[in-house]
């Protein structure tokens, strides 16, 4: 009986149209919404940070602008949902984020590289200020996963 119900649900799902309207991607406004764990938001930020770099290196400025938007949303979400994060730690990222955005608009690879370096320092200064200097981010060294995180023990700041 129970399994029949499961099968019915699966069939129903299969019959639904695959195309999802853009508006369906908006976060539901119910109060009991799912709140991602901070580590999950940060894991997304790590991958967005790397993709941002790879897109900029490849001079795909449209993709770079998109990944920058995704990264900004992750950082904003972290600050909004987790009040334990000092706001000043988020606002210090404002300037580097703006510089990355300006470099993308100007399609300037050198400015982009410099701005991404500054942004990466911003990631680390928040981590150290929150006793997490062992989470050390770097400018990606390649495209393999986690090429923008350092795994050997870090010196204490
Ligand atoms: C305003 C503070 C702040 C900023 C800015 C920040 N982080 Fe974090 N990050 C944290 C905190 C706090 C944790 C630890 C979360 C925990 O303990 O669950 C963390 C954890 C992480 C982790 C570990 C996730 C895991 O579970 O493995 C990664 C990776 C990470 N951050 C990447 C980044 C990157 C990349 C940036 C910059 C683009 C960044 N963070 C900017 C506060 C910050």
pTM: 0.84
Checking if the pLDDT of 156 tops 70, the result is: no
pLDDT at residue 53 is higher than 90: yes
Which ligand 1 atom sits closest to the C-alpha of 71?
Answer: 38
Ligand 1 contacts CB of residue 46 (under 6 A): yes
Q: Is the CB of 42 under 6 A from ligand 1?
A: yes
Ligand 1 closest atom vs CA 82: 12
Q: Cα of 110 to ligand 1 centre, how many Å?
A: 26
Residue 20 is predicted with a pLDDT of 42
- CATH class, domain 38-150, is mainly alpha
* Predicted local confidence at residue 115, as pLDDT: 98
Please state, as a whole number, how many other Cβ atoms lie within 10 Å of the Cβ of residue 126: 21
The DSSP secondary-structure symbol of 24 reads G
Helix and strand numbers, DSSP H then E, in the chain: 6, 2
């Amino acid at each position: 009986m129970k399994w029949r119900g499961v099968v019915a649900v699966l069939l129903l799902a299969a019959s639904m149209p695959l195309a999802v309207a853009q508006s369906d991607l908006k976060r539901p406004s119910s109060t009991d919404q799912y709140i991602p764990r901070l580590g999950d938001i940060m894991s997304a930020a790590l991958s967005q940070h790397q993709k941002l770099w790879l897109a900029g290196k490849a001079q795909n400025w449209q993709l770079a602008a998109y990944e920058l938007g995704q990264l900004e949303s992750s950082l904003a979400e972290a600050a909004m949902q987790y009040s334990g994060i000092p706001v000043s730690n988020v606002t210090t990222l404002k300037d580097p984020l703006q510089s990355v955005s300006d470099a993308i608009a100007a399609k300037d690879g050198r400015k982009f590289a410099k701005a991404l370096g500054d942004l990466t320092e911003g990631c680390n200064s928040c981590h150290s200020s929150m006793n997490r200097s062992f989470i050390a981010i770097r400018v990606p060294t390649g495209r393999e996963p986690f090429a923008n995180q350092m795994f050997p023990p870090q010196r204490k700041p």
